[in-house]
Amino acid sequence: MKLTASMMLTVDGVYQGPGGPDEDRRGGFERGGWTAAHADPEMWPFLTSWFERADALLLGRKTWEIWDAYWPHHDEGDAVSHGINVLPKHVPSTTLKKPTWQNTHVIDGDLEAAVRELKAKPGRELQLHGSGVLLRWLLERDLVDELNLRIYPVVVGDGLRLFPESGHSHDLTLVESRSTPSGVTLQTYRPAGRGTFGPAG
């Protein structure tokens, strides 16, 4: 399976709490819900087409907890809500024991080996949604095959950012780019190793 990752980001690179004020208050974050002002009817068909390609999900512990509290109660039978509920959900964690949400599988051993094993299985896409800490970890180990960024036209000025001020470099090949009427840009990249540096001329 191809590992494809999707992340909602602000222009200043924040991924924390896109859906609401109380979604993710880690570190005292009080600026959650920054996607609300840029809701767009084009986003749902985009998400639907994406989830239709998923054969399994890979979720960070925090994202899994947010989804576990919401999606089991909002299954409308469509590709997004139903897919999230019934697809295999793989969650790296050493403390999550006996999860009750259907088809949840805890990875509590060698994470890199487990991800490589999942990718080696037949299928279309192993999809990672949100999960910023996990996504950064996967990118550092060159395990992501496709990176989809939904960039919202807002600068939050606080919160957890996908890329740290100091860390690994990444070269990316742009595969597709478009924008919605509300100003959200949808960027699809293929990771292409580490960045290269030299004279601009």
- Residue 117: give its domain's CATH number: 3.40.430.10
- pLDDT confidence band for 165 (50 / 70 / 90): confident
- pLDDT confidence band for 76 (50 / 70 / 90): very high
**Can you tell me the mean pLDDT for 130-149?**
96
Query: pLDDT value at position 139?
Result: 95
> pTM to 2 decimals?
0.92
How would you label 22-47 residue by residue, b for 16+ Cβ within 10 Å and e otherwise? ebbeeeebeebebbeebeeeebeebb
Instruction: Assess if residue 150 is contained within a domain.
Output: yes
Q: Which domain range does residue 116 map to?
A: 2-157
Instruction: Assess if residue 131 is contained within a domain.
Output: yes
Instruction: Assess if residue 198 is contained within a domain.
Output: no
Instruction: Assess if residue 188 is contained within a domain.
Output: no
Instruction: Assess if residue 190 is contained within a domain.
Output: no
Query: What is the tally of structural domains in the chain?
Result: 1
Structure tokens, 85:
């509920």
Instruction: Assess if residue 194 is contained within a domain.
Output: no
Secondary element (H or E) of residue 55: strand 54-58
Instruction: Assess if residue 56 is contained within a domain.
Output: yes
Single-letter residue type at 195: G
